[in-house]
Structure 1
Amino acid sequence: MLRLAGARLLDERDRASVRAALAVDPVASCMVAARIDALGLDPWRLGGELWGCEPRGRTSRLDALCFAGPNLIPLQGNRSALRAFADRALSRRRICSSVVGPSEQVLGIWSELELDWGPAREVRAEQPLMATMGEPMVLPDPLVRPVRPDELDRYLPAAIAMFIEEVGVDPRAGDGGASYRARVAELIATGRAFARFEGGDVVFKAEIGALSHTVGQIQGVWVRPNRRGHGLGAAGTAAVVDRLVRGMGRVASLYVNSYNVVAKAAYRKIGFGQVGEYATVLF
Protein backbone atom coordinates (compact mmCIF):
# COMPACT_ATOMS: atom_id res chain seq x y z
CA MET A 1 0.00 0.00 0.00
CA LEU A 2 1.31 3.44 -0.87
CA ARG A 3 2.01 5.68 2.11
CA LEU A 4 0.63 9.21 2.20
CA ALA A 5 2.86 12.19 2.76
CA GLY A 6 1.81 14.80 5.30
CA ALA A 7 -0.87 17.33 4.41
CA ARG A 8 0.46 20.36 2.56
CA LEU A 9 -0.90 23.72 1.53
CA LEU A 10 -1.99 23.75 -2.11
CA ASP A 11 -1.54 26.75 -4.40
CA GLU A 12 -2.02 27.77 -8.02
CA ARG A 13 0.66 25.33 -9.16
CA ASP A 14 -1.68 22.54 -8.06
CA ARG A 15 -4.72 23.82 -9.95
CA ALA A 16 -4.85 20.98 -12.52
CA SER A 17 -4.54 18.30 -9.82
CA VAL A 18 -7.16 20.03 -7.67
CA ARG A 19 -9.62 20.25 -10.55
CA ALA A 20 -9.14 16.55 -11.31
CA ALA A 21 -9.74 15.63 -7.67
CA LEU A 22 -12.86 17.79 -7.39
CA ALA A 23 -14.24 16.28 -10.61
CA VAL A 24 -14.34 12.82 -9.03
CA ASP A 25 -17.55 13.80 -7.19
CA PRO A 26 -18.72 17.25 -8.32
CA VAL A 27 -21.89 17.16 -6.19
CA ALA A 28 -20.12 16.35 -2.93
CA SER A 29 -17.34 18.88 -3.65
CA CYS A 30 -19.61 21.73 -4.78
CA MET A 31 -19.00 23.96 -1.75
CA VAL A 32 -15.23 23.90 -2.24
CA ALA A 33 -15.29 23.86 -6.05
CA ALA A 34 -17.49 26.97 -6.08
CA ARG A 35 -14.94 28.92 -4.05
CA ILE A 36 -12.04 27.78 -6.21
CA ASP A 37 -13.91 28.46 -9.47
CA ALA A 38 -14.56 32.03 -8.34
CA LEU A 39 -11.44 32.87 -6.34
CA GLY A 40 -8.60 30.53 -7.25
CA LEU A 41 -6.28 28.88 -4.72
CA ASP A 42 -4.60 31.85 -3.09
CA PRO A 43 -5.55 31.67 0.61
CA TRP A 44 -6.08 35.42 0.92
CA ARG A 45 -8.64 35.44 -1.88
CA LEU A 46 -10.06 32.00 -1.06
CA GLY A 47 -10.85 32.91 2.53
CA GLY A 48 -9.11 29.78 3.77
CA GLU A 49 -6.56 27.16 2.86
CA LEU A 50 -6.86 24.09 0.68
CA TRP A 51 -4.80 21.16 1.92
CA GLY A 52 -3.90 18.06 -0.01
CA CYS A 53 -2.19 14.71 0.35
CA GLU A 54 -0.69 12.52 -2.33
CA PRO A 55 1.02 9.12 -2.29
CA ARG A 56 4.77 9.41 -1.91
CA GLY A 57 6.50 9.46 -5.26
CA ARG A 58 3.27 10.25 -7.16
CA THR A 59 2.97 14.01 -6.93
CA SER A 60 0.81 14.36 -10.05
CA ARG A 61 -2.29 13.03 -8.30
CA LEU A 62 -4.05 14.19 -5.16
CA ASP A 63 -5.64 11.43 -3.10
CA ALA A 64 -7.15 13.70 -0.45
CA LEU A 65 -8.45 17.27 -0.12
CA CYS A 66 -9.56 19.40 2.81
CA PHE A 67 -10.65 23.05 2.91
CA ALA A 68 -9.93 24.95 6.12
CA GLY A 69 -11.77 28.24 6.48
CA PRO A 70 -15.08 29.33 8.03
CA ASN A 71 -15.95 25.63 7.79
CA LEU A 72 -13.60 22.66 7.82
CA ILE A 73 -14.54 20.57 4.78
CA PRO A 74 -12.70 17.25 4.34
CA LEU A 75 -13.65 16.02 0.89
CA GLN A 76 -11.56 12.96 0.22
CA GLY A 77 -8.98 10.87 2.01
CA ASN A 78 -8.35 7.63 3.87
CA ARG A 79 -7.58 7.35 7.56
CA SER A 80 -3.95 8.39 7.14
CA ALA A 81 -4.90 11.49 5.18
CA LEU A 82 -7.58 12.49 7.67
CA ARG A 83 -5.06 12.12 10.49
CA ALA A 84 -2.65 14.38 8.59
CA PHE A 85 -5.41 16.97 8.05
CA ALA A 86 -6.31 16.79 11.75
CA ASP A 87 -2.69 17.32 12.74
CA ARG A 88 -2.54 20.43 10.59
CA ALA A 89 -5.85 21.72 11.98
CA LEU A 90 -4.69 21.15 15.56
CA SER A 91 -1.51 23.12 14.99
CA ARG A 92 -3.51 26.35 15.13
CA ARG A 93 -6.47 27.86 16.93
CA ARG A 94 -9.87 26.62 15.75
CA ILE A 95 -11.60 29.24 13.58
CA CYS A 96 -14.27 27.13 11.87
CA SER A 97 -17.88 27.06 13.05
CA SER A 98 -18.48 23.53 11.78
CA VAL A 99 -16.98 20.47 10.13
CA VAL A 100 -19.09 19.52 7.13
CA GLY A 101 -18.83 17.30 4.07
CA PRO A 102 -19.01 13.63 3.09
CA SER A 103 -19.95 11.69 6.20
CA GLU A 104 -17.08 9.20 6.07
CA GLN A 105 -14.51 12.00 5.97
CA VAL A 106 -16.27 14.25 8.49
CA LEU A 107 -16.77 11.54 11.09
CA GLY A 108 -13.25 10.25 10.48
CA ILE A 109 -11.55 13.59 10.98
CA TRP A 110 -13.82 14.40 13.94
CA SER A 111 -12.61 11.28 15.71
CA GLU A 112 -9.11 12.79 15.48
CA LEU A 113 -10.20 16.28 16.56
CA GLU A 114 -12.83 15.58 19.21
CA LEU A 115 -10.45 15.26 22.16
CA ASP A 116 -9.08 18.77 21.54
CA TRP A 117 -12.02 20.53 19.88
CA GLY A 118 -14.91 18.82 21.60
CA PRO A 119 -17.45 18.54 22.87
CA ALA A 120 -19.48 19.50 19.81
CA ARG A 121 -22.75 21.36 20.25
CA GLU A 122 -24.34 18.81 17.89
CA VAL A 123 -23.24 16.04 15.54
CA ARG A 124 -25.54 15.37 12.59
CA ALA A 125 -24.10 12.09 11.39
CA GLU A 126 -26.61 11.25 8.64
CA GLN A 127 -27.60 13.90 6.10
CA PRO A 128 -28.66 12.50 2.72
CA LEU A 129 -26.97 14.35 -0.16
CA MET A 130 -29.50 14.64 -2.99
CA ALA A 131 -29.29 15.81 -6.60
CA THR A 132 -31.28 16.10 -9.82
CA MET A 133 -30.22 16.84 -13.37
CA GLY A 134 -33.75 17.01 -14.75
CA GLU A 135 -36.52 19.56 -14.76
CA PRO A 136 -38.63 19.41 -11.58
CA MET A 137 -41.52 16.98 -11.51
CA VAL A 138 -43.50 19.44 -9.38
CA LEU A 139 -44.92 22.55 -11.02
CA PRO A 140 -42.65 25.45 -10.02
CA ASP A 141 -44.30 28.25 -8.05
CA PRO A 142 -44.51 31.18 -10.53
CA LEU A 143 -44.51 33.66 -7.63
CA VAL A 144 -41.06 32.60 -6.41
CA ARG A 145 -38.50 35.02 -7.83
CA PRO A 146 -35.04 36.44 -7.11
CA VAL A 147 -35.02 38.87 -4.21
CA ARG A 148 -34.14 42.47 -5.13
CA PRO A 149 -31.42 44.36 -3.21
CA ASP A 150 -33.99 46.88 -1.97
CA GLU A 151 -35.92 43.98 -0.36
CA LEU A 152 -33.10 42.98 2.01
CA ASP A 153 -34.87 44.27 5.12
CA ARG A 154 -38.04 42.37 4.21
CA TYR A 155 -36.11 39.18 3.45
CA LEU A 156 -33.70 39.22 6.39
CA PRO A 157 -36.22 38.31 9.17
CA ALA A 158 -37.14 35.12 7.30
CA ALA A 159 -33.47 34.27 6.78
CA ILE A 160 -32.78 34.76 10.50
CA ALA A 161 -35.80 32.64 11.46
CA MET A 162 -34.62 29.87 9.13
CA PHE A 163 -31.07 29.99 10.55
CA ILE A 164 -32.25 29.75 14.16
CA GLU A 165 -34.62 26.91 13.32
CA GLU A 166 -32.04 24.97 11.31
CA VAL A 167 -28.74 25.64 13.10
CA GLY A 168 -30.01 26.29 16.62
CA VAL A 169 -28.20 29.59 17.20
CA ASP A 170 -29.02 33.22 16.43
CA PRO A 171 -26.80 34.51 13.57
CA ARG A 172 -26.96 37.98 15.11
CA ALA A 173 -25.00 36.86 18.17
CA GLY A 174 -21.54 38.33 18.53
CA ASP A 175 -21.64 41.25 16.10
CA GLY A 176 -25.33 42.16 16.19
CA GLY A 177 -25.93 40.40 12.89
CA ALA A 178 -23.62 42.55 10.72
CA SER A 179 -21.72 39.63 9.18
CA TYR A 180 -24.87 37.60 8.55
CA ARG A 181 -26.60 40.60 7.01
CA ALA A 182 -23.60 41.10 4.71
CA ARG A 183 -23.70 37.43 3.66
CA VAL A 184 -27.43 37.59 2.88
CA ALA A 185 -26.95 40.86 1.00
CA GLU A 186 -24.24 39.19 -1.10
CA LEU A 187 -26.55 36.30 -2.01
CA ILE A 188 -29.25 38.77 -3.03
CA ALA A 189 -26.82 40.89 -5.05
CA THR A 190 -25.64 37.84 -7.01
CA GLY A 191 -29.20 36.69 -7.76
CA ARG A 192 -28.99 33.60 -5.57
CA ALA A 193 -31.71 34.37 -2.99
CA PHE A 194 -35.31 33.49 -3.91
CA ALA A 195 -38.61 34.18 -2.19
CA ARG A 196 -42.36 34.34 -2.47
CA PHE A 197 -43.76 37.50 -0.93
CA GLU A 198 -47.33 37.90 0.27
CA GLY A 199 -48.46 41.23 1.64
CA GLY A 200 -44.87 42.33 1.97
CA ASP A 201 -43.86 39.27 4.00
CA VAL A 202 -41.77 36.27 2.95
CA VAL A 203 -43.76 33.04 3.02
CA PHE A 204 -41.14 30.91 1.22
CA LYS A 205 -37.41 31.36 0.81
CA ALA A 206 -34.41 29.44 -0.46
CA GLU A 207 -30.92 30.25 -1.64
CA ILE A 208 -28.26 28.85 -3.93
CA GLY A 209 -25.50 28.78 -1.37
CA ALA A 210 -22.71 27.40 -3.57
CA LEU A 211 -22.50 27.55 -7.35
CA SER A 212 -19.68 25.76 -9.16
CA HIS A 213 -19.29 25.45 -12.92
CA THR A 214 -21.43 22.29 -12.89
CA VAL A 215 -23.48 22.16 -9.67
CA GLY A 216 -25.63 24.49 -7.59
CA GLN A 217 -26.29 23.64 -3.95
CA ILE A 218 -29.63 24.82 -2.55
CA GLN A 219 -29.74 25.88 1.09
CA GLY A 220 -31.96 27.68 3.59
CA VAL A 221 -35.28 26.29 2.38
CA TRP A 222 -37.94 27.72 4.68
CA VAL A 223 -41.73 28.18 4.76
CA ARG A 224 -43.44 30.50 7.22
CA PRO A 225 -44.86 28.26 9.97
CA ASN A 226 -48.51 29.23 9.46
CA ARG A 227 -48.25 28.36 5.74
CA ARG A 228 -46.70 24.92 6.11
CA GLY A 229 -48.48 21.84 4.84
CA HIS A 230 -49.88 23.54 1.73
CA GLY A 231 -47.19 22.64 -0.83
CA LEU A 232 -45.35 25.97 -0.79
CA GLY A 233 -42.05 24.30 0.08
CA ALA A 234 -42.14 21.78 -2.77
CA ALA A 235 -43.37 24.27 -5.39
CA GLY A 236 -40.93 26.94 -4.22
CA THR A 237 -37.96 24.59 -4.22
CA ALA A 238 -39.03 23.39 -7.67
CA ALA A 239 -38.79 26.99 -8.87
CA VAL A 240 -35.20 27.20 -7.66
CA VAL A 241 -34.39 23.81 -9.23
CA ASP A 242 -35.86 25.03 -12.51
CA ARG A 243 -33.65 28.12 -12.36
CA LEU A 244 -30.57 25.97 -11.76
CA VAL A 245 -31.27 23.23 -14.29
CA ARG A 246 -32.92 25.08 -17.16
CA GLY A 247 -31.71 28.59 -16.48
CA MET A 248 -28.11 27.92 -15.48
CA GLY A 249 -27.38 24.46 -16.89
CA ARG A 250 -26.32 23.09 -13.49
CA VAL A 251 -27.09 19.98 -11.52
CA ALA A 252 -29.29 20.97 -8.56
CA SER A 253 -28.24 19.53 -5.20
CA LEU A 254 -28.96 19.86 -1.49
CA TYR A 255 -28.51 17.95 1.74
CA VAL A 256 -31.10 17.37 4.43
CA ASN A 257 -31.21 16.00 7.97
CA SER A 258 -32.12 12.32 7.98
CA TYR A 259 -34.87 12.88 10.56
CA ASN A 260 -36.67 15.46 8.39
CA VAL A 261 -39.07 12.99 6.83
CA VAL A 262 -41.37 15.67 5.40
CA ALA A 263 -38.56 17.51 3.61
CA LYS A 264 -37.08 14.30 2.19
CA ALA A 265 -40.45 13.27 0.79
CA ALA A 266 -40.93 16.71 -0.80
CA TYR A 267 -37.49 16.63 -2.41
CA ARG A 268 -38.09 13.15 -3.83
CA LYS A 269 -41.41 14.36 -5.22
CA ILE A 270 -39.57 17.18 -7.01
CA GLY A 271 -37.18 14.66 -8.57
CA PHE A 272 -34.20 14.55 -6.23
CA GLY A 273 -32.46 11.25 -5.61
CA GLN A 274 -29.87 10.44 -2.98
CA VAL A 275 -26.31 10.43 -4.37
CA GLY A 276 -24.32 10.36 -1.14
CA GLU A 277 -24.35 11.25 2.53
CA TYR A 278 -23.06 14.28 4.39
CA ALA A 279 -22.40 14.83 8.07
CA THR A 280 -22.04 18.04 10.06
CA VAL A 281 -20.35 18.77 13.38
CA LEU A 282 -21.60 22.05 14.88
CA PHE A 283 -19.71 24.09 17.47
Structure 2
Amino acid sequence: MLIAPVRQLGEGERPAVERLLDRDPFAAAQVAERVAAHGLSWWRADGRVLGYGARRRLEALCWLGGHLTPVLAGAPAVAAFAELLAGEERLCSSIVGRADAVLGLWDRLGPHWGPARDVRPNQPLLATDAVPAGPVDPDVRRVRTNEVDRLFPAAVAMYTEEVGVSPLLEDGGRSYRRRVAELVRTGRAYARFVDGQVVFKAELAVVTRRTAQIQGVWVAPEWRGQGLATAAMAAVVRDALARVAPTVSLYVNDYNVPARRVYERCGFRPVGTFATVLF
Protein backbone atom coordinates (compact mmCIF):
# COMPACT_ATOMS: atom_id res chain seq x y z
CA MET A 1 0.00 0.00 0.00
CA LEU A 2 1.37 3.43 -0.92
CA ILE A 3 2.30 5.76 1.92
CA ALA A 4 0.62 8.73 0.21
CA PRO A 5 -0.99 9.49 -3.14
CA VAL A 6 1.47 9.17 -6.03
CA ARG A 7 0.21 9.27 -9.57
CA GLN A 8 1.39 9.90 -13.09
CA LEU A 9 0.49 13.43 -14.09
CA GLY A 10 -1.15 14.38 -17.36
CA GLU A 11 -1.49 17.52 -19.42
CA GLY A 12 -4.55 18.63 -17.45
CA GLU A 13 -2.32 19.27 -14.42
CA ARG A 14 0.33 21.23 -16.31
CA PRO A 15 -0.46 24.60 -14.66
CA ALA A 16 0.02 23.08 -11.20
CA VAL A 17 3.25 21.41 -12.34
CA GLU A 18 4.61 24.67 -13.75
CA ARG A 19 3.82 26.52 -10.52
CA LEU A 20 5.73 23.89 -8.57
CA LEU A 21 8.72 24.04 -10.94
CA ASP A 22 8.82 27.83 -10.60
CA ARG A 23 9.32 27.46 -6.85
CA ASP A 24 12.72 25.82 -7.41
CA PRO A 25 13.98 27.28 -10.71
CA PHE A 26 17.62 26.17 -10.44
CA ALA A 27 17.25 22.63 -9.08
CA ALA A 28 14.20 21.89 -11.23
CA ALA A 29 15.61 23.35 -14.45
CA GLN A 30 16.08 20.04 -16.26
CA VAL A 31 12.49 19.00 -15.59
CA ALA A 32 11.15 22.47 -16.43
CA GLU A 33 12.88 22.41 -19.81
CA ARG A 34 11.34 19.06 -20.73
CA VAL A 35 7.86 20.06 -19.58
CA ALA A 36 8.06 23.32 -21.53
CA ALA A 37 9.15 21.46 -24.68
CA HIS A 38 6.94 18.39 -24.53
CA GLY A 39 4.25 18.87 -21.90
CA LEU A 40 3.24 15.99 -19.67
CA SER A 41 2.35 13.41 -22.30
CA TRP A 42 4.81 10.59 -21.66
CA TRP A 43 4.80 9.41 -25.28
CA ARG A 44 6.07 12.85 -26.35
CA ALA A 45 8.48 13.54 -23.50
CA ASP A 46 10.47 10.28 -23.25
CA GLY A 47 9.64 10.17 -19.58
CA ARG A 48 6.94 10.33 -16.93
CA VAL A 49 6.18 13.00 -14.37
CA LEU A 50 4.97 11.55 -11.08
CA GLY A 51 3.14 13.74 -8.62
CA TYR A 52 2.83 13.52 -4.85
CA GLY A 53 -0.13 14.94 -2.98
CA ALA A 54 -3.86 15.33 -3.35
CA ARG A 55 -5.21 16.09 -6.81
CA ARG A 56 -5.91 19.70 -5.89
CA ARG A 57 -2.79 20.06 -3.75
CA LEU A 58 0.31 18.97 -5.65
CA GLU A 59 3.29 19.01 -3.29
CA ALA A 60 6.22 17.37 -5.12
CA LEU A 61 7.25 15.92 -8.48
CA CYS A 62 9.52 13.20 -9.73
CA TRP A 63 10.73 13.04 -13.33
CA LEU A 64 11.40 9.49 -14.50
CA GLY A 65 13.15 9.11 -17.84
CA GLY A 66 16.81 8.79 -18.72
CA HIS A 67 17.39 10.35 -15.31
CA LEU A 68 15.34 10.24 -12.12
CA THR A 69 14.92 13.76 -10.72
CA PRO A 70 12.87 14.62 -7.62
CA VAL A 71 11.56 18.19 -7.27
CA LEU A 72 10.60 19.75 -3.93
CA ALA A 73 10.42 16.26 -2.44
CA GLY A 74 10.46 16.23 1.35
CA ALA A 75 10.76 13.06 3.39
CA PRO A 76 7.12 11.93 2.98
CA ALA A 77 7.26 12.45 -0.80
CA VAL A 78 10.60 10.64 -1.03
CA ALA A 79 9.15 7.67 0.85
CA ALA A 80 6.10 7.59 -1.41
CA PHE A 81 8.07 7.87 -4.66
CA ALA A 82 10.52 5.20 -3.50
CA GLU A 83 7.75 2.77 -2.57
CA LEU A 84 6.28 3.04 -6.05
CA LEU A 85 9.61 2.94 -7.91
CA ALA A 86 11.03 0.00 -5.95
CA GLY A 87 8.59 -2.24 -7.73
CA GLU A 88 9.79 -1.16 -11.17
CA GLU A 89 12.85 -2.12 -13.16
CA ARG A 90 15.51 0.58 -13.15
CA LEU A 91 15.76 2.18 -16.58
CA CYS A 92 17.38 5.51 -15.65
CA SER A 93 21.15 6.03 -15.83
CA SER A 94 21.27 8.32 -12.80
CA ILE A 95 19.39 9.91 -9.92
CA VAL A 96 20.12 13.63 -9.78
CA GLY A 97 18.69 16.62 -7.93
CA ARG A 98 18.73 18.25 -4.53
CA ALA A 99 20.90 16.16 -2.24
CA ASP A 100 18.42 15.45 0.55
CA ALA A 101 15.84 14.01 -1.85
CA VAL A 102 18.35 12.11 -4.03
CA LEU A 103 20.12 10.50 -1.09
CA GLY A 104 16.79 9.71 0.56
CA LEU A 105 15.62 7.98 -2.60
CA TRP A 106 18.87 6.08 -2.90
CA ASP A 107 18.66 4.86 0.71
CA ARG A 108 15.33 3.27 -0.14
CA LEU A 109 15.97 2.24 -3.75
CA GLY A 110 19.54 0.96 -3.30
CA PRO A 111 18.48 -2.55 -2.24
CA HIS A 112 16.29 -2.82 -5.35
CA TRP A 113 18.30 -0.89 -7.94
CA GLY A 114 21.87 -1.21 -6.73
CA PRO A 115 24.73 -1.30 -6.86
CA ALA A 116 25.60 2.20 -8.05
CA ARG A 117 28.70 2.87 -10.09
CA ASP A 118 29.31 6.10 -8.18
CA VAL A 119 27.56 8.24 -5.57
CA ARG A 120 28.41 11.95 -5.43
CA PRO A 121 26.68 13.23 -2.30
CA ASN A 122 27.88 16.83 -2.24
CA GLN A 123 27.68 18.90 -5.42
CA PRO A 124 27.29 22.63 -4.76
CA LEU A 125 24.51 24.18 -6.86
CA LEU A 126 25.57 27.67 -7.93
CA ALA A 127 23.93 30.59 -9.74
CA THR A 128 24.54 34.18 -10.80
CA ASP A 129 22.58 36.99 -12.39
CA ALA A 130 25.52 39.37 -12.81
CA VAL A 131 28.03 39.77 -15.61
CA PRO A 132 31.48 38.74 -14.28
CA ALA A 133 33.60 41.69 -13.20
CA GLY A 134 36.91 40.27 -14.37
CA PRO A 135 38.48 39.83 -17.82
CA VAL A 136 36.50 38.07 -20.55
CA ASP A 137 38.26 35.86 -23.09
CA PRO A 138 37.48 37.37 -26.52
CA ASP A 139 38.37 34.10 -28.26
CA VAL A 140 35.60 32.09 -26.61
CA ARG A 141 32.61 32.01 -28.95
CA ARG A 142 29.65 29.94 -30.02
CA VAL A 143 30.62 26.88 -32.03
CA ARG A 144 29.55 26.97 -35.68
CA THR A 145 27.59 24.17 -37.30
CA ASN A 146 30.53 23.24 -39.52
CA GLU A 147 32.74 22.74 -36.44
CA VAL A 148 30.91 19.80 -34.83
CA ASP A 149 33.65 17.39 -35.95
CA ARG A 150 36.24 19.51 -34.14
CA LEU A 151 34.14 19.85 -30.99
CA PHE A 152 33.08 16.22 -30.72
CA PRO A 153 36.43 14.71 -29.55
CA ALA A 154 36.61 17.31 -26.77
CA ALA A 155 33.03 16.53 -25.78
CA VAL A 156 33.83 12.82 -25.61
CA ALA A 157 36.94 13.51 -23.51
CA MET A 158 34.94 15.69 -21.10
CA TYR A 159 32.14 13.16 -20.74
CA THR A 160 34.52 10.27 -20.15
CA GLU A 161 36.51 12.21 -17.56
CA GLU A 162 33.44 13.48 -15.73
CA VAL A 163 31.10 10.47 -15.87
CA GLY A 164 33.69 7.71 -15.84
CA VAL A 165 32.51 5.91 -18.97
CA SER A 166 32.79 6.79 -22.64
CA PRO A 167 29.66 7.96 -24.48
CA LEU A 168 30.95 5.96 -27.45
CA LEU A 169 30.06 2.70 -25.71
CA GLU A 170 26.34 3.24 -26.30
CA ASP A 171 25.35 2.95 -29.99
CA GLY A 172 28.86 3.92 -31.05
CA GLY A 173 28.29 7.45 -29.80
CA ARG A 174 25.62 8.29 -32.38
CA SER A 175 23.06 9.59 -29.88
CA TYR A 176 25.71 11.60 -28.06
CA ARG A 177 26.89 13.13 -31.29
CA ARG A 178 23.31 14.10 -32.14
CA ARG A 179 23.08 15.82 -28.76
CA VAL A 180 26.32 17.73 -29.34
CA ALA A 181 25.21 18.74 -32.83
CA GLU A 182 21.86 19.95 -31.49
CA LEU A 183 23.56 22.12 -28.87
CA VAL A 184 25.71 23.62 -31.62
CA ARG A 185 22.73 24.17 -33.93
CA THR A 186 20.78 26.00 -31.22
CA GLY A 187 23.68 28.28 -30.26
CA ARG A 188 24.26 26.67 -26.88
CA ALA A 189 27.82 25.32 -27.35
CA TYR A 190 30.90 27.47 -26.72
CA ALA A 191 34.57 26.84 -27.35
CA ARG A 192 37.96 28.41 -27.76
CA PHE A 193 39.96 27.00 -30.67
CA VAL A 194 43.74 27.16 -31.00
CA ASP A 195 45.19 25.88 -34.28
CA GLY A 196 41.87 24.16 -34.98
CA GLN A 197 41.84 22.29 -31.66
CA VAL A 198 39.43 22.86 -28.77
CA VAL A 199 41.24 24.08 -25.66
CA PHE A 200 38.09 25.10 -23.74
CA LYS A 201 34.43 24.16 -24.10
CA ALA A 202 31.15 24.52 -22.26
CA GLU A 203 27.46 24.17 -23.11
CA LEU A 204 24.15 25.60 -21.99
CA ALA A 205 22.80 22.09 -21.54
CA VAL A 206 19.51 23.20 -20.00
CA VAL A 207 17.63 26.39 -20.82
CA THR A 208 14.40 27.61 -19.23
CA ARG A 209 12.81 31.03 -18.98
CA ARG A 210 14.36 31.31 -15.53
CA THR A 211 17.92 30.04 -16.03
CA ALA A 212 20.56 28.68 -18.39
CA GLN A 213 22.39 25.75 -16.82
CA ILE A 214 26.00 25.28 -17.85
CA GLN A 215 27.37 21.75 -18.16
CA GLY A 216 30.27 20.11 -19.97
CA VAL A 217 32.94 22.60 -18.87
CA TRP A 218 36.32 21.27 -20.00
CA VAL A 219 39.86 22.55 -20.48
CA ALA A 220 42.33 20.54 -22.54
CA PRO A 221 44.81 18.87 -20.16
CA GLU A 222 47.84 20.64 -21.60
CA TRP A 223 46.16 24.02 -21.02
CA ARG A 224 45.19 23.47 -17.40
CA GLY A 225 46.77 25.56 -14.67
CA GLN A 226 47.42 28.50 -17.00
CA GLY A 227 44.53 30.72 -15.93
CA LEU A 228 42.46 30.08 -19.05
CA ALA A 229 39.25 28.89 -17.43
CA THR A 230 38.14 31.99 -15.51
CA ALA A 231 38.12 34.38 -18.47
CA ALA A 232 36.67 31.65 -20.70
CA MET A 233 33.81 30.97 -18.28
CA ALA A 234 33.25 34.70 -17.95
CA ALA A 235 32.70 34.88 -21.71
CA VAL A 236 30.09 32.10 -21.53
CA VAL A 237 28.27 33.71 -18.61
CA ARG A 238 28.24 37.14 -20.26
CA ASP A 239 26.76 35.79 -23.50
CA ALA A 240 24.20 33.60 -21.73
CA LEU A 241 22.94 36.49 -19.59
CA ALA A 242 22.75 38.84 -22.56
CA ARG A 243 21.14 36.42 -24.97
CA VAL A 244 19.48 33.46 -23.26
CA ALA A 245 18.22 33.77 -19.67
CA PRO A 246 18.16 36.12 -16.66
CA THR A 247 20.39 33.82 -14.60
CA VAL A 248 23.11 31.25 -15.19
CA SER A 249 23.48 28.18 -12.99
CA LEU A 250 25.51 24.99 -12.67
CA TYR A 251 26.48 22.29 -10.22
CA VAL A 252 29.98 21.03 -9.48
CA ASN A 253 31.59 18.20 -7.53
CA ASP A 254 32.69 19.40 -4.11
CA TYR A 255 36.17 17.89 -4.57
CA ASN A 256 36.79 19.86 -7.79
CA VAL A 257 38.45 22.74 -6.00
CA PRO A 258 40.00 24.40 -9.09
CA ALA A 259 36.60 24.55 -10.82
CA ARG A 260 34.90 25.91 -7.71
CA ARG A 261 37.47 28.71 -7.55
CA VAL A 262 36.84 29.57 -11.19
CA TYR A 263 33.09 29.74 -10.64
CA GLU A 264 33.49 31.89 -7.53
CA ARG A 265 35.67 34.33 -9.46
CA CYS A 266 32.95 34.49 -12.12
CA GLY A 267 30.40 35.56 -9.51
CA PHE A 268 28.57 32.29 -8.86
CA ARG A 269 27.07 31.90 -5.37
CA PRO A 270 25.61 28.82 -3.62
CA VAL A 271 21.87 28.22 -3.97
CA GLY A 272 21.76 24.66 -2.67
CA THR A 273 23.39 21.24 -2.86
CA PHE A 274 22.91 18.55 -5.49
CA ALA A 275 23.73 14.85 -5.33
CA THR A 276 24.10 12.35 -8.14
CA VAL A 277 23.87 8.55 -8.15
CA LEU A 278 25.39 7.06 -11.32
CA PHE A 279 24.62 3.56 -12.64
Which TM bucket (shorter chain)?
over 0.9
- Say if 1:223 and 1:233, in contact at 8 Å, map to a contact too: yes
- Output the TM-score relative to the length of structure 2: 0.96
- Map Cα deviations across residues 89-113 of structure 1 (whole Å, 9 max, x no partner): 2333211110000001100111110
Q: 2: distance between equivalents of 1:190 and 1:239? A: 18
| Residue number in structure 2 paired with 1:268 | 264
Shift >6 Å, 4+ stretches = none
Query: For residues 187-198 of structure 1, what are the structure 2 equivalents within 5 Å?
Result: 187-198=183-194
Over the aligned positions, Cα root-mean-square deviation in angstroms equals 1.4
Q: Specify which of 125, 132, 142 is matched with residue 138 of structure 2.
A: 142
- Say if 2:61 and 2:70, in contact at 8 Å, map to a contact too: yes
SS in 1 for 2:150: helix
SS in 2 for 1:271: coil
- Map Cα deviations across residues 168-190 of structure 1 (whole Å, 9 max, x no partner): 10110031111111111111111
Query: What amino acid does structure 1 have at the position aligned with 2:160?
Result: I
Gaps of at least 5 residues in structure 2 are: none
- Output the TM-score relative to the length of structure 1: 0.95
- Say if 1:6 and 1:81, in contact at 8 Å, map to a contact too: no
- Say if 1:70 and 1:96, in contact at 8 Å, map to a contact too: yes
| Residue number in structure 2 paired with 1:119 | 115
Q: Specify which of 171, 174, 177 is matched with residue 167 of structure 2.
A: 171
SS in 2 for 1:8: strand
SS in 1 for 2:158: helix
| Residue number in structure 1 paired with 2:52 | 53
- Say if 2:27 and 2:98, in contact at 8 Å, map to a contact too: yes
Gaps of at least 5 residues in structure 1 are: none
- Say if 2:207 and 2:245, in contact at 8 Å, map to a contact too: no
Query: For residues 22-33 of structure 1, what are the structure 2 equivalents within 5 Å?
Result: 22-33=21-32
Identity %: 49
| Residue number in structure 1 paired with 2:4 | 5
- Say if 1:215 and 1:251, in contact at 8 Å, map to a contact too: yes
SS in 2 for 1:239: helix
Q: 2: distance between equivalents of 1:249 and 1:187? A: 16
- Say if 1:30 and 1:212, in contact at 8 Å, map to a contact too: yes
| Residue number in structure 1 paired with 2:211 | 215
| Residue number in structure 2 paired with 1:185 | 181
Q: 2: distance between equivalents of 1:164 and 1:48? A: 25
